[in-house]
Amino acid sequence: MHNFWNTKLALSDDILMKIEKPERYIGHEVNAVTKDPDYVRVRFAMCFPDVYEIGMSHLGIQILYDMFNSFEDCWCERVYAPWTDLDKIMREQNIPLFALESQDPIKNFDFLGITIQYEMCYTNILQVLDLAQIPLLAKDRGEDCPIVIGGGPCTYNPEPIADFFDMFYIGEGETRYRELLDLYEQYKDEGKSRMDFLKAAAKVPGMYVPQLYKTTYKEDGTIESFKAIEEGIPEFIVKEVVKDVSDTYYPLKPVVPYIKCTQDRVVLEIMRGCIRGCRFCQAGELYRPVRERDVEVLKKYAVEMLKNTGHEEISLSSLSSSDYSKLPELLDFLIEECSKKHVNITLPSLRIDAFSLDVMSKVQDIKKTSLTFAPEAGTQRLRNVINKGLTVENIIDGSTEAFLGGWNKVKLYFMLGHPFETNEDIRGIAELSNQIAATFFDVVPKEKRVNGKIQITVSTSFFVPKPFTAFQWAPQNTKEQFIEKAYYCRGAITEQLNQKSIKYNWHDADLSVLEGILARGDRRIAPVILDVYKKGSFFESWTEYYNHDRWLDSFKDHGIDTAFYTSRPREDDEIFPWDFISCGVNKSFLLNEWHKAQREEITPNCSQKCSGCGGAQFGIGICFAGR
């Protein structure tokens, strides 16, 4: 094993003393994996292009870290985007970006894997490449550069960042990496070139090598064709899917950070996918079909992970936890285990109509937090448009049970700017919030309001149409429309009887519009991203570092009309930049859902009736069970 204490830190004591949170950069956390570099054949740097505290909270990287390090011939290390203070020093002193475990420069690794969770991290990807001293454009990289590979949800439309990556892995990482590493070792042994490897890798299912494809455009700017320029390369790439989520890699010894992270807890992924089919939700389509982890496996994982980390909190992770069929059994087990160990349980993504007083009272004995509901829209009509299977009765009944159970803080999440939204729908947000507050005063007698009054926090984000959703055809609101809607919502809240119990927050409109451009962009956006980065932009998901004028200037300099990507209507038969990828859900199904939204029709969820989305092609999960 590699001895950390003999490892010279990449940063001097002098630098570590100057910067904020030096613990971000020194490695050697509990459960970090070290190996002898002389005894491995592939060195893989796994990067989350954001600050350490956020990257360390990402379950996907923890799973892949565990998997790669279970291979004897591979050593996987972690790297995150250095914060602005260290970034400045590294540039001034020409210190190359390094991996945490060995402190070795990333540029000497075989692979740099970057997980891409969010469009606003695109300039951070360039920051990481730049600090690592790797050429920013894939076409400029020589034989001695690592293979830069992207993964994660944003790779379902990789085109705006295609110029910066050698390849993308589309889908779930557990399935094909072993095959890819074997291919890499074989080509290395045979002395083949970097491009030889990339051409061979492009034939591995789920892999996309952008340099081997070409896009042509029509006069109106839409796509005419997207074709492979190399013989034998697939025209169409189908995402990779883990067939059995119980029998796969899982980090039973996750790395425990030195400093407080966004999610300082054991994370138990109970299932993948979602049966619900909300028309705005990209994750609900990307991760179909639904696959549940075996409850006995989860019980074992929970005990093991709490023992291996010392964390004092455990969280259930999935897109809709209350749809997990064995949830009552799992919760009973966890409540018993956790009360013995004084461990808190958090239950995110529970549906409002699935809350029972029983579950709440059991969990609140251990820890009581605010209750979170996501109605997403203010009226039933608009909830039908977006296919959010939730009625006012569900919301009020759930609230009533919660208030009777002693809860008095409620967070409500809505979106403004949904397709076909009217002022009446926006007013509905205020009226629904008021109704929930009134319910509290109706059902909780004065003498039982021990925790004070009801506190309702209403948050509205602005709707961003995403690829692989029914709303990928939808025009996005302009900045002006978004702001007007937020003001209207705020005004409607102040008119309510219980307005003093309601606090209102809204999202940044500029950021939402930019996210919309990047989400549905094509390769013509890449030079803009590069330009904005070169002007000094990164960490743009952090409001204090976001500079909207730089983006506007760069779009203008490159002759790009941003409305083309955001607010224009799209024809039913338009070719989208991501149409060469299959997430398993057919485009014809999504188009049908778009038309149903226009007619305000709902689609039943997967457990009630199969809607023929295409997910059954994988032969697993609920799709398979229902046939």
Strands 213-217, 207-208: pairing kind: unpaired
In this predicted structure, the answer to whether residue 588 has a pLDDT above a threshold of 90 is yes
Give the Cα separation of 147 and 165 in Å (integer): 8
Q: Is pLDDT larger for residue 47 or for residue 409?
A: 47
pLDDT for the residue numbered 542? 87
Peptide bond into 289 cis (omega under 30): yes
Element at 443 (helix H, strand E): helix 423-443
Residue 129, CB-side half-sphere exposure with 13 Å CA sphere: 29
DSSP 496-513: STTGGGEEEEE--HHHHH
Q: Take residue 29 and report the two structure tokens written for it.
A: 């956390």
pLDDT for the residue numbered 367? 46
> Across 511-582, where does the E strand assignment appear?
581-582
> What's the whole-model pTM score?
0.94
Q: How confident is the model at residue 366 (pLDDT cuts 50, 70, 90)?
A: very low
Q: What are the two backbone dihedrals, phi and then psi, of residue 121, each rounded to the nearest 5 degrees?
A: -95, 0
Give the Cα separation of 24 and 564 in Å (integer): 41
Q: How confident is the model at residue 356 (pLDDT cuts 50, 70, 90)?
A: low
In this predicted structure, the answer to whether residue 582 has a pLDDT above a threshold of 90 is yes
pLDDT digits (tens, 9 = 90+) for 144-195: 999 999 999 999 999 999 999 999 999 999 999 999 999 999 999 999 999 9
Give the Cα separation of 146 and 402 in Å (integer): 53
Most confident of 252-256, 391-395, 480-484: 480-484
CB neighbourhood size of 539 (10 A): 21
Give the Cα separation of 56 and 540 in Å (integer): 19
| Nearest alpha carbon to residue 53 among 256, 262, 273 | 262
Q: How confident is the model at residue 4 (pLDDT cuts 50, 70, 90)?
A: very low
* Domain 244-368+581-627 and domain 370-391+399-521+565-579 have a common topology: yes
pLDDT for the residue numbered 358? 62
Q: Take residue 353 and report the two structure tokens written for it.
A: 């109509």
Return the SS3 of 267.
strand
CA 399 to chain centre: 28
Query: 420 has which bridge partners?
Result: none
Judge contact between 351 and 276, C-beta under 8 A.
no
> Across 270-356, where does the E strand assignment appear?
271-272, 291-292, 313-317, 344-346
B/e letters for 278-296, b = 16+ CB within 10 Å, e = fewer, are: bbbbbbbbbbbbbbbbebe
pLDDT digits (tens, 9 = 90+) for 102-150: 999 999 999 999 999 999 999 999 999 999 999 999 999 999 999 999 9
pLDDT for the residue numbered 5? 44
Return the SS3 of 47.
strand
Determine the CATH number of domain 244-368+581-627.
3.30.750.210
Element at 423 (helix H, strand E): helix 423-443
What fold is seen in the domain 4-238? Rossmann fold (3.40.50)
Amino acid at 98: F
For 370-391+399-521+565-579, CATH number out of 3.40.50.2300, 3.30.360.10, 3.30.750.200, 3.90.79.10 equals 3.30.750.200
pLDDT for the residue numbered 354? 46
Judge contact between 25 and 121, C-beta under 8 A.
no
Judge contact between 320 and 274, C-beta under 8 A.
yes
Judge contact between 340 and 389, C-beta under 8 A.
no
> By percentage, how much of the chain surpasses pLDDT 70?
94
pLDDT digits (tens, 9 = 90+) for 15-33: 999 999 999 999 999 999 9
Q: What are the two backbone dihedrals, phi and then psi, of residue 420, each rounded to the nearest 5 degrees?
A: 65, 25
- Burial of residue 372, with CB atoms counted within 10 A of its CB: 0-12 exposed, 13-18 middle, 19 or more buried: middle
> By percentage, how much of the chain surpasses pLDDT 90?
77
Strands 271-272, 291-292: pairing kind: antiparallel
User: With left for phi above 0 and alpha for psi between -120 and 50, is residue 402 left, alpha or beta?
Assistant: alpha
In this predicted structure, the answer to whether residue 369 has a pLDDT above a threshold of 70 is no
In this predicted structure, the answer to whether residue 3 has a pLDDT above a threshold of 70 is no
pLDDT for the residue numbered 317? 87
Judge contact between 584 and 618, C-beta under 8 A.
yes
| Nearest alpha carbon to residue 372 among 401, 348, 403 | 348
In this predicted structure, the answer to whether residue 368 has a pLDDT above a threshold of 60 is no
User: Hey, where are the domains in the chain?
Assistant: 4-238, 244-368+581-627, 370-391+399-521+565-579
